[in-house]
């Protein structure tokens, strides 16, 4: 797998955040490309983290933060009984839903439902949090994929 570099932009804050988040999303999907379900479910570290779980978790995190906490919409529980291809499809579907909400909102707009947390945050904070969360887990995916078959690169 070729090592790809994040996009370098001269753009406004929203465009930059969205481009960097999308780069990390795509990196996670590239990390699982070509794997079968058994490989994606392999537990190679003591925490039990798997590549399949990472994809499912990131879809849920975006849904929780943007769809539920920011937009105040109800969400379904994460589907954990899926294979890798279905999890990737769910993740990509999440991007479309999340991006539509972001496109229709201001970065200074506040979250509507923080599930009892009395410290409100803006959409800007949510997007930055998702960027760091996705990048962190993309790094975990790098390590897991290398342990599975030696494949490296973003």
**At residue 153, does pLDDT exceed 80?**
no
Higher pLDDT residue, 3 or 25? 25
Structure tokens at 86: 């279905």
**Within a 10 A sphere around the Cβ of 95, how many other Cβ atoms?**
17
Q: What DSSP assignment string belongs to 85-149?
A: HHHHHHHHHHHHHHHHHHHTS-TTPBPS--TT-S---BHHHHHHHHHHHHHHHHHHHHHHHHHHH
Residue 4: what pLDDT?
82
pTM of the complete model = 0.93
User: Is it true that domain 50-149 has CATH number 1.20.120.450?
Assistant: yes
45 DSSP assignment: S
Cα separation of 99 and 18, whole Å? 8
Q: How confident is the model at residue 28 (pLDDT cuts 50, 70, 90)?
A: very high
Which residues does 93 contact at the CB level (< 8 Å), separation at least 6? none
**At residue 1, does pLDDT exceed 90?**
no
Which residues does 147 contact at the CB level (< 8 Å), separation at least 6? 44, 45
Q: How confident is the model at residue 3 (pLDDT cuts 50, 70, 90)?
A: confident
Structure tokens at 9: 């932009």
Structure tokens at 7: 């996009």
What integer best gives the mean pLDDT of the chain? 93
**At residue 142, does pLDDT exceed 90?**
yes
What are the backbone angles phi and psi of residue 119, rounded to the nearest 5°? Answer: -105, 95
Q: pLDDT tens digit string along 58-99?
A: 999 999 999 999 999 998 877 778 999 999 999 999 999 999
First and final C-alpha spacing in the chain: 8
Q: What percent of the chain has pLDDT over 90?
A: 79
């Amino acid at each position: 797998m070729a090592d790809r570099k994040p996009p370098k932009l001269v753009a406004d804050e929203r465009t930059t955040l969205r481009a960097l988040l999308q780069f990390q999303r795509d990196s996670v999907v590239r990390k699982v490309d070509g794997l079968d379900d058994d490989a994606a479910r392999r537990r190679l570290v003591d925490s039990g983290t798997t590549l399949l779980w990472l994809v499912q978790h990131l879809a849920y995190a975006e849904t929780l933060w943007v769809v539920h906490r920011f937009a105040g919409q109800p969400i379904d529980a994460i589907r954990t009984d899926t294979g890798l291809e279905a999890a990737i499809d769910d993740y990509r579907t999440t991007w479309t839903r999340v991006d539509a909400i972001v496109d229709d909102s201001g970065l200074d707009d506040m979250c509507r439902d923080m599930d009892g947390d009395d410290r409100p945050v803006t959409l800007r904070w949510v997007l930055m949090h998702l960027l760091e969360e996705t990048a962190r887990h993309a790094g975990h995916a790098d390590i897991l994929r290398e342990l599975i078959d030696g494949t490296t690169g973003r």
